[in-house]
Structure 1
């Protein structure tokens, strides 16, 4: 295999294809997208298996990767940082308002990914801005507390508090408190599911819908895709296990429905859900399993797998243009749910 470097990740598909001739990555009937294969090989080349840098360096790595491989955030009418009330003090958040309309806008409460350890308002800045611009809705990105400084269920508590704050106070920032949904990628998808389940269980108003981008749903990691992609791009098994050890207090937490919401047997009152998954993602099958269970419970559920893609592709859109296609799909779903056409 060619030793791929950063510049290869920014080449066009036409330029990449000759480098991959006779070397395309496959998984059953799936064929990895050529640009995704280059990014996957590059990510593996810079990773030392079993080694994890100090937290500040690790967190900066994600910001650097996104800065190099994601499209810049589009201009919006308003982008500003705020604080929302949490159980243990103020939680930083960022408001994305796409229009100068005086009418209150529906709100997507967004929880970023990063294994509950990485990620912040800046790592998902481009994705959140595109979600707001292309949907016409407001997006509020929540900077929940990260592990290991904030162990489970700290992040859950922050996300629940932020959602509840928007349901009561969205009008203060130009949002409509009667129209609030949740969404997020990877760990953020997990937190979106947990917020949906916990609010319904408490008899509170659940989110209008769930936008679930390759979500983690179960800490068992026993699905076929976890076995097939143990050395997968972006989140190989050793990294998944490391994230787990940073976030959870011990093995007993794996059984807690606030950590593994895919195990919940009571799905009554769950809001509609859109799942966007990737064929070469270890999380692929646990997301599909939960989607199937929602469908069986009578919840309106849509699943779209991008069969040739890898974990994280929606925030690496400069290198992986299908990330923009998936974002368009997400915003079309938001428009339909909120009748924003």
Structure 2
């Protein structure tokens, strides 16, 4: 499941990042980690989309900011057939991440999938630990459905997407809809290198303990911020692989990377989806590392992966 060596284009990009001498997330305070992430991931607004709006809705814990991306295709359809939509949850171990830091990948998804993308600025741990981000993820899906007419989207064609911790939130929103019969049920799940387990001794955690881009120590640190106590680690809304049943959920795309500590958990999630009755497309990239889709402008394999996910979005929504 892991190539002999990193993809050379990705390796070059990682060498450039590592040449900056950046500390590990787990060596920083939360405030310092957030400052560093802002510096690293807030880039120019590319690719261009037809319309970007910053809005907010009233969630269960207060106002939740969102950013709505509408590509040209969706803008053209605004007066006709409503568009497909993705409710997107950023990564960052439930501790880091802003609307700006995930701006690029949201633009890419909007343009490539011809979808309205609603990026959710959910509250972060440790100030707002589990289950607050899950509550706000579910509320965001409901809000998009409730305001579908104003947003120009079809309430029956709303999917959820997420990177890393955001992938876990996307699954949690789908589980909540199924377990509590809380409409709307997402029409699809698009999960890029999702956090799915809480076992730091899998083969991929051992092989990729020192990264690149994400380490085992980082993941222990992120979970330490997010979970209130060890009891939360048994809760499927926090750790999707703890769910007793992963069938009867929206069709899913799961993207995994060979050099990612999360690889085996993502693969296990995809395997259980398929075995337990959820349609799934598992897209594995043996020579890639965690977060690689954010480097689509520099790594051809990452660009191809984003295009494949976008094609899945168009087919399922």
TM-score w.r.t. length of structure 2: 0.92
Query: What is the root-mean-square deviation of aligned Cα atoms in Å?
Result: 1.9
Instruction: List, as ranges, runs of 4+ consecutive aligned residues in structure 1 with deviation greater than 6 Å.
Output: none
Give 1:65 shift: 2.2
Q: Which is worse superposed, 97-106 or 150-159?
A: 97-106
How many residue pairs get aligned? The number is 310
1:263-278 matches, cutoff 5 A: 263-278=242-257
SS in 2 for 1:31: coil
Tell me which of 173, 184, 187 is aligned to 2:162: 184
Q: TM-score scaled by structure 1?
A: 0.86
- Gap change, CA 1:319 and 1:64, over 3 Å in 2: farther
Query: What is the Cα deviation at residue 38 of structure 1?
Result: 3.3
Q: Give 5+ residue unaligned stretches, structure 2.
A: none
**Kindly tell me: are residues 165 and 232 of structure 1, through their superposed partners in 2, closer, same or farther at Cα, counting changes over 3 Å?**
same
Q: Is the 8 A contact 1:40 1:310 kept in 2?
A: no
Report deviation, 1:41. Answer: 4.4
Structure 1: 5+ residue runs without aligned partners?
A: 1-26
Alignment deviations for residues 79-103 of structure 1 (CA, whole Å, 9 cap, x no partner): 0101122102210000011132223
Residue 65 (structure 2) aligns with = 92
SS of the residue aligned with 1:246? helix
1:224 aligns with 2:228: no
The answer to whether the 8 A contact 1:66-1:316 is kept is: no
User: Aligned pair 1:63/2:30, yes or no?
Assistant: no
Q: Match for 2:265 among 249, 263, 286?
A: 286
1:156 is the counterpart of 2:134: yes
Partner of 1:15: none
Whole-Å separation in 2 of the counterparts to 1:333 and 1:224: 29
Within-5 A mapping of 1:313-332: 313-332=292-311
Report whether the alignment pairs 1:81 with 2:54. Answer: yes
Contact 1:30–1:279, Cα closer than 8 Å, also in 2: no
SS at match of 2:67: strand
- 2:117, 2:108 → 1: CA distance? 10
Residue of 151, 155, 175 corresponding to 2:153: 175
Alignment of 1:108-119 (within 5 A): 108-119=86-97
Contact 1:73 1:127 in 2 (8 A): no
Asked if 1 retains the 8 angstrom alpha-carbon contact of 2:191 and 2:252, the reply is: yes
Structure-to-structure mapping, 1:285-304, within 5 angstroms: 285-304=264-283
- The equivalent of 1:128 in structure 2 is 106
Contact 2:159 2:187 in 1 (8 A): yes
Task: Measure the CA separation in 2 of the matches of 1:145 and 1:50.
Answer: 19
Change in Cα spacing, 1:256 to 1:311, as seen in structure 2 (3 Å) is: same
Instruction: Evaluate the alpha carbon distance shift between residue 233 and residue 96 of structure 1 in structure 2; reply closer, same or farther with a 3 A threshold.
Output: same
Structure 2: distance between partners of 1:51 and 1:336: 39
Moved more, 259-268 or 44-53: 44-53
- Is the 1:97–1:137 contact (alpha carbons within 8 Å) kept by the matching residues of 2? yes
Which stretch shows the higher mean deviation, 314-323 or 151-160? Answer: 314-323
Please state if 1:250 is matched with 2:250.
Answer: no
* Residues 33-74 of structure 1 deviation map (CA, whole Å, 9 limit, x = unaligned): 112223444555624458533333312322322246xx8522
Would the alpha carbon gap of residues 321 and 225 (structure 1) be closer, same or farther in structure 2, given more than 3 Å must change?
Answer: same
Displacement of 1:246: 0.8
Map Cα deviations across residues 168-193 of structure 1 (whole Å, 9 max, x no partner): 22222222222211000000001111
SS at match of 2:10: helix
